[in-house]
Amino acid sequence: MMVIRPIRADDYPALYQMAVESGHGFTSLPVNDELLMRKISRSEQSLQKTVSGPGDEGYLFVLEDTSNGDVCGTSALEAAVGLDDAFYHYHLGKVVHSSRSLGVYKTVDILTLCNDYTGVSELCTLFLRENRREKNNGRLLSKARFLFMAEFAERFADRVIAEMRGVSDQNGHSPFWRWLQEHFFSVDFPTADYLTGIGQKVFIAELMPKYPIYVSLLSKDAQQVIGKVHDKTRPALALLQSEGFSNRGYVDIFDAGPTVEARVEHIRSIRYSRKLQVQIGTPGPDSQPYLICNTNIGNFRATWLPLTVTEQSEQVVLPQACADALGVKAGDQVRLTRI
């Protein structure tokens, strides 16, 4: 059975290997021992906190194959971004140049550096290993976070974002960053990406152009990738769009990948999630695939399986194996939502 659970210290070797496999452009999984161990420790401490509102908490999860203990993927949630370090984006807007006397009216796209997403929650660090990209593994890894947010709503802001990986080649070169590097920086994209991942963001404030950038002045290659995602990120973007996420013109400052956002109450898997009481048995006919989680933050578990649930249901029948994997028994509450 595939189960989502909070990361533990002994998952470090698997997390490091996934950081290596994730490649360039995956800022939240840098290949850095100290930072990865700090992420694990921070997640463990965040789960132990008693909080009444979002703060400097981060929750890191892994996808485990319980049949052999293999860690197959990871995903994470940030409760509130930008509270300690500035959280930068470019916003794609427009200015109008017009002159009635000359009969000129021209709309021009501009990129403006901003910190507009300070304080919002963030979906991040989603990575599923190549040999496990099958069945509902990707959906479980991504959407289990929505069940966690629904169950522990006080820990998160009312708006959530996800930064989507932008366009870069197999060597980690970004057309957008190449233009910035030529005119403002002296470091390549992999280096800038790595520095950001390990928390060294001072160079952004020091070197990033402070005034709006006219998109028409960028190279053609750079212009063409603004708001576009990496080929490997398309399935993740499509999944979030199906949940109600949309782009409002914000893009990453390094690779110009889009940032998508949604109000928490509008996210489909949260909005239609329900809490039901557990019965142990065999699900009935006409089962449909559901995501399901327990309600224990310290021992959080989530999985998916076919279940028979109607709008009138107050209980859900779980096989014993599933109940054991979730750490629940008859009479306990679980939260579930349709896949």
Residue 230 among the catalytic residues: yes
Angle at 36 between CA 35 and CA 40, to 5 degrees: 115
With CA atoms as reference, report the closest residue to 157 among 215, 98, 82.
Answer: 82
Which 3 state secondary structure label does DSSP give 107?
strand
Which residues of the chain fall below pLDDT 70? 24-27, 186, 189-190, 192-203, 205
Sign, CA dihedral 196-202-203-205, equals: positive
Q: Is 222 exposed, middle or buried (0-12, 13-18, 19+ CB in 10 A)?
A: buried
With CA atoms as reference, report the closest residue to 30 among 228, 172, 202, 142.
Answer: 172
> How high is the pLDDT of residue 199?
63
pTM for the whole structure: 0.90
Question: Which domains are delineated in the chain?
Answer: 2-90+114-269 (3.40.630.30), 273-338 (2.40.40.20)
Structural tokens at position 15: 């997390």
Q: Please give the sequence-ordered ranges of beta strands (E in DSSP) within 212-312, or none if there are none.
A: 213-214, 246-251, 258-263, 274-280, 288-293, 302-307
Structural tokens at position 163: 């930064």
> How high is the pLDDT of residue 205?
65
CB neighbour list of residue 159: distance below 8 Å, 6 or more residues apart: 120, 121, 261, 262, 263, 264
Contact 206, 228 (CB under 8 A): no
DSSP 194: H
> How high is the pLDDT of residue 152?
97
Residue with tokens 């991504």: 142
Dist. CA 13–CA 6, nearest whole Å: 15
3-state helix, strand, coil in the chain (%, to 5): 30, 30, 40
> How high is the pLDDT of residue 225?
96
Residue with tokens 């152009």: 209
> How high is the pLDDT of residue 310?
85
Dump pLDDT digits (tens) for 35-88. 899 999 999 999 999 999 999 999 999 999 999 999 999 999 999 999 988 888
Across all residues in the chain, what is the average pLDDT?
91
For residue 237, which phi and psi values (nearest 5 degrees)? Answer: -65, -45
Q: Which of 97, 173, 183, 230 is catalytic?
A: 230
Q: Please, where are the H alpha helices in the chain?
A: 12-22, 33-48, 137-151, 175-183, 189-197, 202-207, 220-224, 234-242, 268-271, 320-326
**Long-range Cβ contact pairs of 217-221 (< 8 A, separation 24 or more):** 218/176, 218/179, 219/175, 219/178, 219/179, 221/175, 221/178, 221/179
> How high is the pLDDT of residue 131?
87
Dist. CA 227–CA 257, nearest whole Å: 5
